[in-house]
Structure 1
Amino acid sequence: MGTDKRHYKEPKTLPDKRNKRPPKRFRRWRLISSSKAVGRFPVLVETIFVEAIIPDLVITQISNGFLHGKIPAAHLPIVDRPHLLDTVVLCIAENPRFTAPITNVTAAVGREAILTCLVEDLGNFKVAWLRVDTQTILTIHNHVITKNHRIGVTHSEHKTWFLHIREIKATDKGWYMCQINTDPMKSQVGYLDVVVPPDILDYATSADIVTREGSNVNLHCKANGFPMPSITWKRETGEMIKLPNGREVANVEGNFLNLTRVSRQQMGPYLCIASNGVPPSVSKRIMLVIHFPPMVWIKNQLVGAYEGQQVTLECHLEAFPKSINYWINERGEMISQSNGRYEPLQKSHNYKTYMKLKIEHVSQSDYGKYKCIAKNALGETDGTIQLFAIPKPSKLLNGIDNDLQDQAGSLLQDKNYVNTASAASRKFICTNFLLVLSALHRLQ
């Protein structure tokens, strides 16, 4: 490489380092081949062996072993034969830097969070991770310093450094620093935000409630989490919730659910559901139990049957706690299945019970009053059904005129006409039945 000898000055002394390689400790230094200023602060100079100098290169000046100011490269000696390595010029330290800021990370409790630090020209410098608020050193280069087994460190070609935090806890939330051990130290920080799925607090949430019908009920539910969870109330069965103003809605938002003058229709399980956008949402089941004394409804209080017919007596009742239910005849005798001609049956769902009494081959002794009785701790009630005799169809039709035959035939064509007819039809049939009996009485 040629040179302008007008700018060449023979150095006063040159160390005798011919045919020797630089010591290991100098390998972290490099020659800057740029016209930009080198360094922003004094850097300690060591020895390096330079093969050539670019004419327009601007090199920082050496003074008392430190780099200060600038001098043109043309004022420095040029080595025509680099292999001789007999020219000492200067050296410039590596200048590691961050190539991008640390991206903030959001992670859920129990998951793994990874913070990333991007570094360039690291050379022999080292990267460390620290917890800012506690000033705890977590890792230095490839080594984990903290005793926290959940912390780990990895890197990719010493350029991308990852801080791993496994099994995240809420206390891991905060600022983390990526640091390079230059002088002065270089650092940047990133924030780890920890989100927590909702958790319902049992001590601050209603337990199962037992109350009397007509009273007021206040349900409450509280949950922790981050962000703060919202509370939604629903009925587990999908039924509507009746509000104090009379409106009925599918769900109610808020920590409290107020029910006024509760009825048996509002009895059942209610769900308090907590959610904050962090899966999974959680719920608690609160059972509302409403106590009330038995109540009885009888569809057919008058049932007619002829001898030898099968007949069924029906009784509907509601009670909670569940009642003790049974049938008695007009003589006060309890009816059980021990008597082969009687078959008492009942079917229950929630607070409702359907009772029926089947009587096979009705005889003269079966006619009379029957009572369905229901008892619980809050009271007792009963309903009465009158079973009365009617003539068999063949006897009824004998000796009456044709007009009455048509009515009587349609009346008795179904042996269970009283039990199966609608309310309006039963009223019409009973009216016609009384007319038939009156006509029979006149004929006699």
Structure 2
Amino acid sequence: MWGCLVSLYTCIVFTVSCIHVTHAILNLTVEAKLNHEVKLPCRLPSGDYYGVNVRWFNKKDGWLTDGNTVYKHPGQIFISKPAPNEWNLHIKRISTSFEDIYTCQTAKGTVLSYIKLAVETSPRIDDEKSSPIRVTLAENTMVVLTCTVSGTPEPEIAWYRGLSETATGITGPELKIRDVTRYAADEYICRAKNTNGEAERRIRVAVNFAPEVTVMEPVVYAAGGEVVVMSCAVKASPLFDAYWTKGTDVYGTPIEPGWKYLVMVDEESDNIPVRFLTLIIRKSIVSAQDYGMYTCVAKGERHVAQNSVELRARKQKSVRVRGK
């Protein structure tokens, strides 16, 4: 104690060698670029450093150096002494394996530097901790899409939707959709960016719902020699089958294209599964036995839906003959 009162210079030397007086510890985080060299600083307070020995440690490898001697990774790390009171640790070619907490201290145990080394990397998406690339759920439920990303500096994450990649305005590792409807079915893109690059994950969301059948016209009129056209739109997810049948029995025989019938099928969208079925009875074919009910049928996972069209005979206009 009297040494401190007599001379501040003596007190500092006493602190380094005897470790009785506290001092400021250099405590910081160093971000280094991948495959570049990095320097971790270690500096003693000013004074007489004769006989002082300094060592570097990290949590993974333990004791790394003693003075200028390197014990671990001798081809990759070395000590530089730009001044008598400095023992800087250099790592020549940084890889992620060097990410750790590094401590510089005297042989007597006085800690001088406490440095967290973070290696700058481009964003990387963790497949196991992120949502799968295809998610299927039922209507009126909630879905949480997750995108787990690593990288230094910490990547910024933004969500986009659809082929046009429209910004959703949602940022961060999660995208929540509450009360999901069939119109939420789409592709969602998680895009992560930092100063070293970017990464993305595309997640296809499918929404299951029971089949629905809509007919364009519930009643169609035709006469012999006319083409008959009946159309329906079928919606379901998943949609296992869709067809026209004669009559109203949903388990009746599907009408197949042939000499009499033409069946046209058009797909609308993958996001909202819609199938258009057009049944055409060819010209000059219609006869009395063709009139009646035709049913458009849709089969889903656990449900069947139907809607019917009635084909009626068109009344022929009577033709008057003059003189009769």
* TM-score of Structure 1 vs Structure 2, range by shorter chain: 0.5 to 0.7
Work out the CA distance in 2 between the residues paired with 1:193 and 1:374.
58
**Pairwise mapping of residues 264-303 of structure 1 onto structure 2 (< 5 A)?**
264-279=182-197, 281-303=198-220
1:213 equivalent to 2:135? Answer no
Verify the 8 A CA contact 1:312 1:357 in the aligned structure 2: yes
Work out the CA distance in 2 between the residues paired with 1:287 and 1:373.
28
Aligned residue in 2 for 1:430: none
Q: For residue 345 of structure 1, what is the amino acid of its counterpart?
A: M
Q: For residue 140 of structure 2, what is the amino acid of its counterpart?
A: G
Work out the CA distance in 1 between the residues paired with 2:264 and 2:184.
28
Relative to 1, partners in 2 of residues 1:340 and 1:139: Cα closer, same or farther, differing over 3 Å? farther
Work out the CA distance in 1 between the residues paired with 2:241 and 2:150.
45
After superposition, the C-alpha distances for 1:347-395 in whole angstroms (9 at most, x for unaligned) are 223211111111112322222211110011231111111222225xxx6
Q: TM-score under structure 2 normalisation?
A: 0.63
Work out the CA distance in 1 between the residues paired with 2:265 and 2:151.
49
Relative to 1, partners in 2 of residues 1:106 and 1:259: Cα closer, same or farther, differing over 3 Å? closer
Q: For residue 172 of structure 2, what is the amino acid of its counterpart?
A: G
Deviation at 1:147, TM superposition (A): 5.3
1:329 equivalent to 2:216? Answer no
Aligned residue in 2 for 1:342: 261
2:65 to 136, 149, 156: 136
Aligned residue in 2 for 1:108: 33
Verify the 8 A CA contact 1:212 1:291 in the aligned structure 2: yes
Aligned residue in 2 for 1:31: none
After superposition, the C-alpha distances for 1:224-259 in whole angstroms (9 at most, x for unaligned) are 22222222222243376xxxxxxxx63311222221
Relative to 1, partners in 2 of residues 1:328 and 1:312: Cα closer, same or farther, differing over 3 Å? same
Deviation at 1:397, TM superposition (A): 7.4
Aligned residue in 1 for 2:107: none
Unpaired runs of 5+ residues, structure 2, are 1-29, 40-53, 58-62, 79-89, 105-115
After superposition, the C-alpha distances for 1:257-282 in whole angstroms (9 at most, x for unaligned) are 22111111101222222222221x11
Verify the 8 A CA contact 1:139 1:145 in the aligned structure 2: no
Work out the CA distance in 2 between the residues paired with 1:367 and 1:378.
32
The SS at the match of 1:396 is coil
Aligned residue in 2 for 1:384: 308
Work out the CA distance in 2 between the residues paired with 1:137 and 1:288.
57
Relative to 1, partners in 2 of residues 1:113 and 1:326: Cα closer, same or farther, differing over 3 Å? same
After superposition, the C-alpha distances for 1:267-307 in whole angstroms (9 at most, x for unaligned) are 1222222222221x112222322111101122222222221
Question: % of aligned pairs identical?
Answer: 24
Q: For residue 259 of structure 2, what is the amino acid of its counterpart?
A: G
Verify the 8 A CA contact 1:325 1:374 in the aligned structure 2: yes
Farther off after superposition, 329-338 or 251-260: 329-338
Aligned residue in 1 for 2:229: 312
2:95 to 164, 168, 175: 168
1:222 equivalent to 2:148? Answer yes
Relative to 1, partners in 2 of residues 1:316 and 1:199: Cα closer, same or farther, differing over 3 Å? same
The SS at the match of 1:282 is strand
Verify the 8 A CA contact 1:106 1:113 in the aligned structure 2: no
**Pairwise mapping of residues 183-222 of structure 1 onto structure 2 (< 5 A)?**
194-207=119-132, 208-222=134-148
Work out the CA distance in 1 between the residues paired with 2:74 and 2:214.
71
Work out the CA distance in 2 between the residues paired with 1:145 and 1:317.
73
Work out the CA distance in 2 between the residues paired with 1:367 and 1:138.
102
Aligned residue in 2 for 1:257: 175
Q: For residue 149 of structure 2, what is the amino acid of its counterpart?
A: A
Which has the greater radius of gyration? 1
Verify the 8 A CA contact 1:138 1:151 in the aligned structure 2: no
Verify the 8 A CA contact 2:159 2:171 in the aligned structure 1: yes
Name the one with the larger helix percent: 1
Verify the 8 A CA contact 1:170 1:196 in the aligned structure 2: no
Size of the aligned set, in residue pairs, is 246
**Pairwise mapping of residues 56-135 of structure 1 onto structure 2 (< 5 A)?**
107-109=32-34, 111-113=35-37, 133=57, 135=64
Relative to 1, partners in 2 of residues 1:221 and 1:174: Cα closer, same or farther, differing over 3 Å? same
Aligned residue in 1 for 2:17: none
Relative to 1, partners in 2 of residues 1:378 and 1:206: Cα closer, same or farther, differing over 3 Å? same
Unpaired runs of 5+ residues, structure 1, are 1-104, 116-129, 153-162, 178-190, 241-248, 401-444
Relative to 1, partners in 2 of residues 1:331 and 1:172: Cα closer, same or farther, differing over 3 Å? closer
After superposition, the C-alpha distances for 1:112-170 in whole angstroms (9 at most, x for unaligned) are 3377xxxxxxxxxxxxxx99555538999xxx997555579xxxxxxxxxx78336335
The SS at the match of 2:280 is strand
Work out the CA distance in 1 between the residues paired with 2:253 and 2:178.
41
2:280 to 351, 358, 362: 358
Verify the 8 A CA contact 1:174 1:193 in the aligned structure 2: no
